[in-house]
């Protein structure tokens, strides 16, 4: 942060600017929520048979917290008030299944669903998951990302506007002004904190009319504050799935002995290790260091500038 000298009024100006911004944000949140409370959203109707068939294709048992989150989401969607629910849970605790079931209810009511993912990789993963689960329902699933050619993207946009696509999954491209939906009923936002300010503004502008479901493992303080203060609804999935241990996070100084012990413990278990390094220039040296620590391990590295 910049240092202000005692004799100048720059600190006073910075404070006033921050207070103004806070007031603007508060006013904006209140305005969005006031518009939401006045508007009637679409009340989804439950098709018990179709929904039960879709849920029956889930290969695992739902945890208690998943069931609570599912019931809360369904109740929100069936009410006339537009949904704005945050589902918070660790990686692998079943947030995506809640999103799939919400999208199923939307599809059964003839409404389109948009799934917003922060990265191309995550968008592709969601596309595979949603395509597999909706394969027997007759619903059309598409993905819009930089892997698509300009011609393919144009065709997807046309189909989206005509209603030939029921579920669209994509990155921030979905927030472009060119995109027109025939009848969007549900927006699912995965990891909201990974989107920039301009993208969040666009999401906010959509918020007053449609049902919004946000999934996150690490909510940003503002989102969490909105949930705790009652301006957004909150569901927490804290129970791990059967056979899954809760994640342990340890913070330690960088130490060869600790790293070697951790690597060996995982390799002796027959598992794999994902070592995250934050600088492309020195990633090769980091891989060499690990190789010296654990000569028996097969080590490869990859980064965003590789083919």
Most confident region among 28-37, 78-87, 157-166 by mean pLDDT: 157-166
DSSP states along 174-202: GGSTT---SSEEEEEEE-GGGS-HHHHHH
Q: How confident is the model at residue 263 (pLDDT cuts 50, 70, 90)?
A: very high
Please list the alpha-helical segments (H only) found in 166-282: 197-206, 221-228, 256-268
Q: How confident is the model at residue 205 (pLDDT cuts 50, 70, 90)?
A: low
pLDDT of residue 204: 61
Collapsing DSSP to helix, strand or coil, 215 comes out as: strand
pLDDT of residue 237: 93
161-171 pLDDT per residue, tens = 999 999 999 98
Can you read off the two tokens belonging to residue 168?
């669209």
CA neighbor of 37 nearest in space, from 232, 201, 235, 213: 232
Q: How confident is the model at residue 36 (pLDDT cuts 50, 70, 90)?
A: low
Q: Is 245 a residue whose pLDDT tops 80?
A: no
- How far is CA 59 from its chain centroid? 22
The mean-pLDDT minimum among 72-86, 95-109, 199-213, 256-270 falls in: 199-213
The mean-pLDDT minimum among 18-22, 75-79, 129-133, 179-183 falls in: 18-22
Q: How confident is the model at residue 207 (pLDDT cuts 50, 70, 90)?
A: low
Euclidean distance between CA atoms 219 and 90, whole angstroms = 11
């Amino acid at each position: 942060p910049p240092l202000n000298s005692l004799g100048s009024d720059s600190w006073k100006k910075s404070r006033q600017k921050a207070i103004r911004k806070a007031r603007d944000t508060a006013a904006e949140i209140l305005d969005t929520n006031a518009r939401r409370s006045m508007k009637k959203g679409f009340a989804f109707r439950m098709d018990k048979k179709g929904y039960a068939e879709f849920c029956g294709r889930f290969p695992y048992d739902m945890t208690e917290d998943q069931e609570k989150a599912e019931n809360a989401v369904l109740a929100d969607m069936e009410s006339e008030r537009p949904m704005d629910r945050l589902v918070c849970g660790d990686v692998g605790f079943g947030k995506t299944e809640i999103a799939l079931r919400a999208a199923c209810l939307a599809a059964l009511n003839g409404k389109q669903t948009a799934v917003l993912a922060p990265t191309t990789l995550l968008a592709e993963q969601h596309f595979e998951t949603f395509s597999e689960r909706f394969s027997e329902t007759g619903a059309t699933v598409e993905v819009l990302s930089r892997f698509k050619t300009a011609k393919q993207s144009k065709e997807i946009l046309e189909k989206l506007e005509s209603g030939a696509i029921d579920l669209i999954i994509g990155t921030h491209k979905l927030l472009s002004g060119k995109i027109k939906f025939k009848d969007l009923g549900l927006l699912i936002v995965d990891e909201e904190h990974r989107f920039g300010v301009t993208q969040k503004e666009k999401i906010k502008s959509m918020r007053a009319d449609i049902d919004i479901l946000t999934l996150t493992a690490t909510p940003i303080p503002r989102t969490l504050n909105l949930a705790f203060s009652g301006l957004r609804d909150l569901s927490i999935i804290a129970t791990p799935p059967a056979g899954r241990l809760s994640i342990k996070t340890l913070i330690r100084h960088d130490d060869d002995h600790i790293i070697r012990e951790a690597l060996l413990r995982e390799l002796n278990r027959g598992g794999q290790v994902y070592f995250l390094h934050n600088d492309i220039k020195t990633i090769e040296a980091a891989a060499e260091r690990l190789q010296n620590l654990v000569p028996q391990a097969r080590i490869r590295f990859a980064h965003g500038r590789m083919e």
